[in-house]
A and B are shown apart, each in its own frame.
Chain A
Amino acid sequence: MKVRIPSPLRAYTGGAANVRAEGATVADVLDDLDRQFPGIRFRVVDEQGRLRDHMTVWLDGERCRDLSAPLADLDELVLMQALSGG
């Protein structure tokens, strides 16, 4: 599936804003991303498997914080940064 990468994470993807990754769940896709782009997962998900406060995942236009959510029939996952900073 296509994964949209927000600008804070493109240091890991060689600057790519869109990449491909596979998996049955959000967590699986993030694991696949980390295999391709080592280190990217830990910037998004903490060591207890929780999506970090200022990151969001969007599936089919809906915000999702459940990393076990299935991805059947979806062809795009959007990673975005949430409100933070100043």
Chain B
Amino acid sequence: MTSVGEDPGAAIDPTAGYRIEDRDGLDQPGPKVLVGTRKGLFVLAGTEDRRQWSLHGPGFLGHVIHHAVVDPRDGESLVVAAKTGHLGPTVFRSQDLGRTWAEASQPPAFRPGDPHGRAVRSVFWLTPGPADGPGSWYAGASPQGLFRSDDRGDTWQPVDGWNDHPSWGEWAEWPDVEGTPDGSMLHSVNVDPRDPDHLYLGLSGGGVFESTDGGADWAPLNAGCAADFLPDPTVPYGHDPHCVRQHPAMPDRLYQQNHCGIYRLDRPGDTWQRIGDNMPRDVGDIGFPIELHPRDPDTVWVFPMDGTDVWPRTSPGGRPAVYRSRDAGGTWERQDTGLPERGWHTVKRQAMTTDAADPVGVYFGTTSGEVWGSADEGETWRCLASHLPEIYSIEVASTR
């Protein structure tokens, strides 16, 4: 033992704060909603009929949890992107839904001697790899770096084809702007379920990019998207996608909630269509998240926010609502039954999700610490948890 002198802290387990100790209901079958917050990780455990929910945690009290994702390939490997106000970014892993944790032995990091001088400030986004690549994960970071693990998140390697792309310095806008989950970061890593070498990702700022060779080379994919904050609206990159989703059942279909509107792209086309133009004018089509029905490629949910004037990024008019389209963005319907009549909600890009049940469950978390859920595809809403810290991410896991 290398400790010296008086050490009153040595008698306690310093990692005890990582654990989610209250297990009643947590280890039962049923959906789990993972809630990443600015101050720790919480888990909402639902009964199989999604009528009753219990809140568990926090784990990692005081740690910034940007993303927490259970591997859908095994239903038990939980990977968490974490940091604290003082300490550098890292990744923690649990095989028992937060009862015990192990830190990545090699967290995501740029290569020493990086020509841009980059260092990861935050691990921001986690995406499980392809179904036939067990243990593989991608991580997006701030600044806009891409990393991959092939051992369930224990060791991470830079994706050199992206990080060292000759155009990275032009593509990645404002890489030094701090403030994650605001500011610059790489997010929305999408792995084509038909071809693990076919990847999409989003940069804030920078745009959407595509690779067809496993990340060795990349090209921008932003035609049709507005960039109202740039003097030339027809630039090939420099856009600000907030969230990009590839439909699992129709992988040629992409949806995007952008800083400048809601879009759909049907490949092999290469020009985004602004489906947000069909939203009510007094609501607009600005927001952070966009979420998909797991089986119906025409159904999508968004959470509009006020992008006028000085960009409050709160519910337009102080009247919170989810909007759903069931015709691929041709028309939209307001879904606010059960939501407060007045509220000034902000929902971050990772803080909304859907489950795989029938009917589909939809969930979102607010920066004011509330988790809202719908078990009927957005028709009615109820508050599942409140008084939590600022919510950064919401993910659903159906654990074993």
Contacts and interface: CB of A to CB of B under 8 A. Distances in A.
A15 interface: yes
Contact of B15 (A11, A21, A44): A11
Contact of B2 (A9, A36, A48, A85): A36
A47 B110 contact: yes
Interface string A1-26: 01000111111111111111100000
Interface of B: 1-15, 17-18, 84-88, 90, 103, 105, 107, 109-114, 117-120
A11 B18 contact: yes
Contacts of B11: 15
A82 interface: yes
Top 6 A-B residue pairs of the complex, sorted by shortest distance between their CB atoms: A85-B85, A16-B3, A46-B119, A84-B85, A81-B86, A47-B109
Contacts of B15: 11
A33 B400 CA distance: 39
Contact of B84 (A8, A10, A13, A46): A8
Interface of A: 2, 6-21, 36, 38-39, 42-50, 52, 54-55, 81-82, 84-85
Contacts of A82: 86
A47 B121 CA distance: 10
> What's the dominant secondary structure at chain A's contact region?
loop
B3 A43 contact: no
A18 B7 contact: yes
Contact of A19 (B2, B86, B112, B117): B2
A2 B5 contact: yes
Nearest to B118: A48
B92 to A, nearest CB: 10
A10 B7 CA distance: 11
Contacts of B118: 48
Given A47-B109, A47-B114, 5 more contacts: A13-B2, A17-B7, A17-B8, A44-B87, A84-B86
A8 B18 CA distance: 12
A11 B118 CA distance: 27
A52 B120 CA distance: 11
A9 to B, nearest CB: 7
9 contacts: A8-B86, A13-B14, A16-B1, A39-B105, A47-B114, A49-B112, A50-B119, A55-B86, A55-B87
A11 to B, nearest CB: 4
Given A10-B14, A15-B13, A54 B112 contact: no
Contact of B120 (A8, A15, A47): A47
B112 A48 contact: yes
A20 B2 contact: yes
A38 B105 contact: yes
A83 to B, nearest CB: 9
A15 B117 contact: no
B112 A39 contact: no
A18 to B, nearest CB: 5
A14 B10 contact: yes
A15 B85 contact: no
A16 B10 contact: yes
Contacts of A81: 85-87
Contact of B90 (A2, A8, A42): A42
- Indicate the member of A8, A44, A84 with the most B CB atoms within 10 Å: A8
Given A14-B3, A47-B111, A54 B14 contact: no
Contacts of A15: 7, 9-14
